[in-house]
Structure formats: structure tokens, C-alpha cells
Amino acid sequence: MIDFQTDPSRYRHWRIETDGAVANLIMDVDEKGGLFEGYELKLNSYDLSVDIELADAIQRLRFEHPEVKVVVLRSGKEKVFCAGANIRMLAGAAHSHKVNFCKFTNETRNSMEDASNHSGQFYISAVNGACAGGGYELALSTEYIILTDDGSSSVALPEVPLLAVLPGTGGLTRVTDKRKVRRDLADVFCSIEEGIKGRKAVDWRLVDETVPNSRFEETVAAKTGALAKTSDRPDGASGIELGPLSRTLSDDAVTYSTVQIELDRTAGLATVTIKGPEDSPPASAEEMTSQGDTFWPLRAARELDDAILHLRLNEMELGVIQFKTVGEGTKVVAYDDFLESESSHWLAREILLYWRRVLKRVDMTSRSLVALIEPGSCFAGTLAELAWACDRSYMAIGAFEGDNRPEASLQLSAANFGRHPMSNGLSRLETRFLGEPGKVTQIQERLGDTLSGEEADELGLVTFAYDDIDWEDEVRIFLEERASFSPDAMTGMEANLRFAGPETMETRIFGRLTAWQNWIFQRPNAVGEDGALRRYGSGQKADYNMERV
């Protein structure tokens, strides 16, 4: 089983060193610390184990170190920043693992950009040595790149000429869309093995600044000091410790404190149930901080995040995820309202941003997603976003015979109107009603109302609403039908339909990259016995099928 839970005491590949407003996040990969056998992580190359630690470090810097305003990404090795994803790992890994690995690394890089753009915790790269492939993609995810000008340090994206694949973590898109490198120069850059160094790297916009070794640390310090002055993160605030998640694993279930996963492998179905809060929200930001990682919105977000990752990497043949909730919708909305009222507080802001990232993780998950809004559920506010993240939603109408739980309802909060945008920059409601923008305004007028199945159906907030007579049969037919379809066709169909509306750098990274890597990573030119990934380092040139497709 691949476990996404870790903490700094267990890191083998990263170090966090904080000094007031500045933190150094140092990549020092343990060659022997790979996730699987059969390869060594030389030259600061990485596999999923390295990125699991990085994702954890980024999260801890946001929640445990509110005083940190600038994070400097560095290498702990001489003459190499990062050689990128480990080639032996890519050559030997299952196709499904490679694709999920690329998706997770993309989400991790996006979380760095999210911290820079929304949390006032800016990431910069201090590049001393070779910075190639995924290593340069790591640097591209920061807001400023300083490259030492020592005659040998360079940046490179050599995947096409060396490996017959594409940069796996958004490199092509960030080069053109984020760094705005001229198209023809980007074509040259991505077609050469040796990379670009010195002044040319600045002139081509591949890095922001290049300085000699003698002034390297001085330049990094000046940049961090300038950026720190622009941050609104609090001085002297105490963070909260992110303790280990409460989690119990069994053959057919994974149980957390607020999330339950039930596994039905025969049906290819995972049921994820989120428990709403039992208590009312705290009276103040101070009381919220004192609750630490037990505060319900943070605890639920962490557990749902881990649950989704667990299903992605450890239960790949469960093609359908159905979401359920249990609890009181009014209490969910009360927590939303509390966080909204305290959104200027650093911790409230981080929790809101974390929910945004978790919901995006749901959007990006290659499974058929369905929400079942049943009696006793609490699809309200932030949890209602799950229903609109799903490919379909089924809502019960009225009371069910022999069921004394409250009738199914939907409730809206301010969180549903722009607080948690999708990767396309629109809210899930705006995406849902792309052809009827007036609908969102009409729905917003129902803010605070408890909507019945009939009302939610009339407003277009659910796919279907059924009474007690039809509910069980309709849900069963859908689940059986979905399980009978090709998983490849489902992944392609769902990914196409989920992201209506404008394209952004983020949707391009996921949409283009996932589609093309999914294809290229299966082609003999890359992974065949005579392909580039297999022959890399052997001294033999890859044997390509030259037919253009």
C-alpha cells in the first residue's frame, strides 16, 4: 500500500530549515529511499516517495509556520539542483502508476503556486547546478528563479530528445503560459539535451536572474527580504501542528474520524461518507486556533484528501466513487459562515484554501463520481460542492418508508459562490450553468434556504430526484451501467465534460498533459523494449517507429 501520511521526523529526502520569515526547503534525496526496488534516486532524481514528502512539507509550512513569508527551494547536493523524475522508475513502473504519479506531482506543484498567489508565502528557487526535466519543472512552480552563473549550471527540459516523452509536470505549459517564453525559443529549448545557462537563460525568460557564485547567497537574501515585505502573513503568530490522521484500515474499509470509505470490489464501487460537524463552530478565531488540527473543517479536509489519494493509487479497479454525507446541514453552513467571517485570519484563510485544493483533487480524480443526497445527509455549503463536482447527483424526495431520518435537503452558503473555484477559474455552479448564467443569480437568492428534492431538481442543482418508490432501482441501474462501461472511455468522457468554460494554465496542464502522457507513455517509442526509456543509459540509440499519428 502507498501511504501518503508522513511527517518531518520520517523524511528521507527533504529538510525544512526556518529562520524567521524565511524557510529553506532543501532537497537532499536519499538514493536508497525509493518507493520500489530496482532503481536508485541518484542526482536528486525523484519518485512518488520524494513528492509525498514535498507535499507534506508544503502543507506544514502553511499551517505550522504562519511566520514564514518566503520559502527558498534549494538542493542539498553539490553541482546538481534536481535531475527530475527517476528514469529507471519511469521505465519499470506500471502505466497506471506513471499517470497517477504525474497527476500528484502536478497537484503538488500547483499547491506551491497557490501558496505564492493566495497565502502570502512566496516560493523562489535558488538553482546551483544542473536543473533538468522535472527539476526545472519544480523551479518553474516557484515565482522567481535565481540561477548561479558558474559556467556549468543550467536549466533544461530534455525529455523529448532523450526519453521520447514529454515533461510530466506542466513544464511545456509553464514555459509558454507562465514564463511567456517565445514559442520558437521554447521549441529550441525543449529539443536540446544540454539546456541553457548564464545570460541566455535570462534573455530567453527561462530564469529571472543569474549571478556569479560570489554573490549568489547575497542575491538570494536580498530577494527574500524584498518579497517578505510584501507578504501579509502575521509576524510572531504560532502555527498549529498537523498531527497524524486517525485512520483504521481493513480489507473492505478505511475509517477516519470524519470520513468512511467502504469498498465493494465485486461491484467496482467505493462509497465515501463524510460526517458533518457535531458541535457548533467556535466563538472566535482564538478558539479556532486552540482547537488546532481537531477543528472540524480542517480535520475533514485532511481526511478527505487522504481518502481520495488512497483510492487513486491503491484501489485502481474501483471505477465508481459515490459520495454520501451524514449530519446536520445547518451546522455545516454555520462553519462556512464562521470561516467566511474570519477569512482575514491566517488559519481561516489556510483552511478555506485547503478545501479549494481538496475539491480540485476530487475534480481531477479519474473515476465516475456520483453524489447520493439521501435522508439524513448534510450536502450543505462546502459539502454541497462535492455534489457539483460529481458527474451525476441523485436526490431523494420526501420521507422514506420506515426511515425516521430528516428528509433529504440541500443548503447553500457563501462558499458556493466563488470561494472554491475549479481549475477553470469558475465556481462549480458557474460551470454547471455555463449556458444559463442567470441561473446562478436565481440560485443565490435562495442562500440560507433549506431546499427539498423537488426544489433542488427544479433549480437544476441535481441530476435526478426520486421518491421512495423509485430511488433504489434508479441508483442501482446507474451503478451497474457505469461498472459495465470501458474505464478508458469513462476517464476520457468525464474529463472532457467536467471542465466546461475558459481554459487556464491549470486546465491546460492537466488536460493536455494527462491526455498526451496517457498516450505517449504507452507508445513503443517510449516504453517498448527498444524505446527511449528502456535504452536510456545503455549506449544504444532508441529504435523509433517514425509514423506520425
State the SS3 of 164-233: CCCCCCCHHHHHHHHCCCCHHHHHHHCCCCCCEEHHHHHHCCCCCEEECHHHHHHHHHHHHHHHHHHCCC
Which residues pair with residue 111 across a beta bridge?
none
Which residues pair with residue 80 across a beta bridge?
130
Average pLDDT on 179-200 reads 97
pLDDT of residue 548: 87
Q: Is 434 exposed, middle or buried (0-12, 13-18, 19+ CB in 10 A)?
A: middle
Give Cα 30 to chain centroid, integer Å.
25
pLDDT band at 11 (very low <50, low <70, confident <90, very high): very high
Q: Residue 392 belongs to what H/E stretch?
A: strand 392-396
pLDDT of residue 511: 81
Contacts from 25-30 at CB under 8 Å and sequence distance 24+? Answer: 25/54, 25/57, 25/58, 25/61, 25/71, 25/72, 25/73, 25/74, 26/74, 26/75, 26/76, 27/73, 27/74, 27/75, 27/76, 27/77, 27/81, 27/82, 28/75, 28/76, 28/77, 29/77
516, pLDDT greater than 80: no
pLDDT of residue 68: 98
- What is the layout of strands, in order, in the sheet containing 14-19? 14-19, 22-27, 70-75, 122-127, 144-148, 209-211
Task: Quote the CA–CA distance of 428 and 430 in Å, as a whole number.
Answer: 5
Q: What are the boundaries of each domain within the chain?
A: 8-230, 247-495
Average pLDDT, whole number, for the chain?
A: 96
**45 phi, psi to nearest 5 deg:** -75, 165
Neighbour count for residue 426 (Cβ, 10 Å): 20
Among 116, 119, 49, 47, which Cα is nearest to 82's? 47
> Which cell goes with 65?
509556520
pLDDT band at 296 (very low <50, low <70, confident <90, very high): very high
pLDDT band at 432 (very low <50, low <70, confident <90, very high): very high
pLDDT of residue 413: 96
**Residue 389 near residue 421 (C-beta atoms within 8 A):** no
pLDDT band at 168 (very low <50, low <70, confident <90, very high): confident
pLDDT band at 492 (very low <50, low <70, confident <90, very high): confident
pLDDT of residue 472: 96
pLDDT of residue 537: 87
Neighbour count for residue 229 (Cβ, 10 Å): 10
Average pLDDT on 51-80 reads 98
Average pLDDT on 57-72 reads 98
**Residue 499 near residue 424 (C-beta atoms within 8 A):** yes
End-to-end CA distance of the chain: 37
464, pLDDT greater than 90: yes
193: number of CA atoms within 13 Å, CB side? Answer: 5
pLDDT of residue 356: 98
**Helix, strand counts (H, E) of the chain:** 22, 22
Q: Residue 510 belongs to what H/E stretch?
A: helix 505-520
What does the pLDDT look like over 373-390, one tens digit per residue?
Answer: 999 999 999 999 999 999
The CATH code that applies to domain 247-495 is 3.90.226.10
The CATH code that applies to domain 8-230 is 3.90.226.10
Q: Which residue has the cell 536543473?
A: 131
pLDDT band at 437 (very low <50, low <70, confident <90, very high): very high
> Which cell goes with 129?
547546478
Its pTM stands at 0.96
pLDDT band at 510 (very low <50, low <70, confident <90, very high): confident
Average pLDDT on 338-360 reads 98
269, pLDDT greater than 80: yes
pLDDT band at 16 (very low <50, low <70, confident <90, very high): very high
10, pLDDT greater than 80: yes
514, pLDDT greater than 80: no
Domains 8-230 and 247-495 share a fold: yes
